[in-house]
Amino acid sequence: MSFDYIIVGAGSAGCVLAHRLSEKPNTRVLLLEAGGRDWNPFIHMPAGLAKLAQFGSVNWGYYTEPEAALGERRLYWPRGKVLGGSSSINAMCYIRGHAADYDAWARAGNPGWSFKQLLPYFRRAEHHVNGEDKWHGGSGPLCVENLAHHNPLSDVFIEAAITAGHPPNTDFNAGQQLGFGLYQVNQKHHRRCSTASSYLKQARGRSNLVIRTGALTERLCLDGTRVSGVHYRRRGKLYTAHATQDTILCGGAINSPQLLMLSGIGPVRDLHQHGIRGIVDLPGVGQNLQDHLDICLIDRARSNITYDHTNDVMIALNYWLLRRGIGTSNVAEAGGFACSRFAKTTRPDLQFHFVPAQLDDHGRNRLPGSGYTVHVCNLQPQSRGSITLRNDDPRRAPLIRPNYLHKKRDLDVMLHGIGIAREILASKPFAEFREFELFPGADCKTPEALTAFIRRRAETIYHPVGTCKMGKDPAAVVDHELRVHGVDALRVVDASIMPTLVCGNTNAPTIAIAEKAADMILARGQETRGAAENKAA
């Protein structure tokens, strides 16, 4: 099989590229996805995300190695293994981050990646409920809507944050990120709007796009240092597909570096230990792993106003018949951004998500009674981890070592964030609803006790990035056009190319990265085709 482009991974970035590249009728595109079709009804009903942790068929279900600073716990890292990737299983919050995030990328030697230069791609992707303006797009594939339903406690949380001295914010993506309000979400007519149901849906009928699900890419095909295609396994059989232009990795911060290393691209000394012949020595592959660590505070409620003991059957019927009610909620309905005392500018280093239910162990542990949860997240972690191979078997998960809280500053920011969250929850608007603090508990007051609480209960909030870092320095893996250093016809387009984490959720930035990459790839394709035609003439 021969194609112009092969895309490995039909997630948040891969679906965008499949759509944009196949818009050119004479361009043949192959899209490979290890997971299956996005048929699970809980994917499309927004509140169904609470159930998706139970379905291994749509989730890689990764676990980290034991984390030294978190009591040697192995943390659960769910990642989407389905068309749409993690955009099919996430909480749908549409957040771009802070302009300074992208300006820092550009200053680090990545021309074209400032916020001003990326804003047109955010806008091109977006179909905003309020239409087009200087910040938002009005005709893109990715729908951004207001929540059709939210719990009254989400309004109480916003009121409490304002009472505690924080400003209100009705749009976190319109130039001012600080403040508290309801999140806008990736939904279309109150149904999840993943990149599969938006971008890929528009492209599926094209004859020049071939989609293969259940296809695990095992190795890249290399002719010297040029990638000519991939080997992938589907239904027990091994196939080879060839690319005349680029092979593009869109597997995310875990799978993209793993595939590079399995193919002999990475830290050669480490690859030799697994019997893999090193072809291109790139020591930065799998390094620079960053993630947002998160801690949950839970208050027990006086009444059953929360979502803890709702009737799941009635919610589903109300949703599927009338498209309304709790089923339209993304559960993490409200939140906000703030600066800790360690922040040097107005760029926030703390994010909060409010859930009108008791959320424990990613929702897998159902607690008795009724309550509500506040997530506290450190947005600018200084700690760095790694993704390394477990062995040379592509079916085995790599070793995930986030190295959380390696830097003391990360712990200090989280401790301050707990203080802010407690102040909000203790303010007057919550007085009639609050019974007592369940976690960390009223007796947990000292920095030492709160530190122990964090080490015992902190979890990921699902934002791993950085393992195929963009840049010019020795640790970089791709250049500013996302081409892998030292390798021809190979690019990485996903969250792994982020040099540093953005201040917020990572799905919208990943989509913008793919939008920009599509322009760069098509421009390069036109150049090479033109050169080939001139040579033939």
CATH code: domain of residue 355 = 3.30.410.40
Question: Rounded mean pLDDT of the chain?
Answer: 96
**Are 263 and 208 part of one and the same domain?**
yes
pLDDT for residue 55? 82
In the chain, the number of structural domains is: 2
Sign of CA dihedral 108, 110, 113, 117: positive
Sequence-ordered alpha helix ranges (H) in 82-149: 99-107, 115-125
Residue labelled with tokens 């592509």: 394
pLDDT for residue 54? 76
Cα–Cα distance list, 327 to 68, 305, 375 (Å): 39, 16, 21
On the 0-12 / 13-18 / 19+ scale of CB atoms within 10 A, 470 is buried
pLDDT for residue 258? 98
Cα–Cα distance list, 328 to 43, 45, 48, 128, 145 (Å): 12, 7, 9, 17, 11
On whether residue 171 sits in a domain, the answer given is yes
Q: Which domain holds residue 436?
A: 148-182+293-380+405-457
Nearest to residue 21, comparing CAs of 523, 531, 530? 523
Among 54-58, 323-327, 380-384, 392-396, which is the least confidently predicted range? 54-58
* pLDDT band of 305, cuts 50, 70, 90: very high
Helices 99-107 and 115-125: crossing angle in degrees, nearest 10, is: 130
Q: What is the dihedral of CA 245, 250, 255, 259, to 10 degrees?
A: 0
**Are 451 and 338 part of one and the same domain?**
yes
Among 363-372, 394-403, 417-426, 485-494, which is the least confidently predicted range? 363-372
| Percentage, residues of the chain above pLDDT 70 | 98
DSSP for residue 282: -
**Distance between CA atoms of residues 306 and 304, nearest Å:** 5
> Do 358 and 438 touch, CB atoms closer than 8 A?
yes
**Are 534 and 472 part of one and the same domain?**
yes
**Are 175 and 63 part of one and the same domain?**
no
437-442: average pLDDT: 97
| Percentage, residues of the chain above pLDDT 90 | 94
Among 81-90, 293-302, 309-318, 332-341, which is the least confidently predicted range? 309-318
pLDDT for residue 527? 65
On whether residue 120 sits in a domain, the answer given is no
pLDDT for residue 1? 83
Measured in whole angstroms, the distance separating CA 56 from the mean position of its chain's CA atoms is 18
Q: Are strands 5-8 and 247-249 parallel, antiparallel or unpaired?
A: parallel
Backbone angles phi, psi at 98, to 5 degrees: -100, 145
| pLDDT above 70: residue 528 | no
The one-letter code for the residue type at 292 is H
Helix %, strand %, coil % for the chain, to 5?
30, 25, 45
pTM exceeds 0.75 for this model:
yes
| pLDDT above 60: residue 535 | no
CATH number of the domain enclosing 248: 3.50.50.60
Residue labelled with tokens 């599926």: 204
Q: Is 179 helix (H, G, I), strand (E, B) or coil?
A: strand
* pLDDT band of 530, cuts 50, 70, 90: low
Catalytically annotated residue among 149, 150, 353, 463: 463
| Phi-psi map region of 296: left, alpha, beta (phi>0 left; psi -120 to 50 alpha) | beta
* pLDDT band of 534, cuts 50, 70, 90: low
pLDDT one-digit tens code per residue, 485-516: 999 999 999 999 999 999 999 999 999 999 99
**Distance between CA atoms of residues 154 and 163, nearest Å:** 14
pLDDT for residue 531? 58
**Are 489 and 449 part of one and the same domain?**
no
pLDDT one-digit tens code per residue, 465-487: 999 999 999 999 999 999 999 99
Q: Is 463 a catalytic residue?
A: yes
Residue labelled with tokens 């098509």: 522
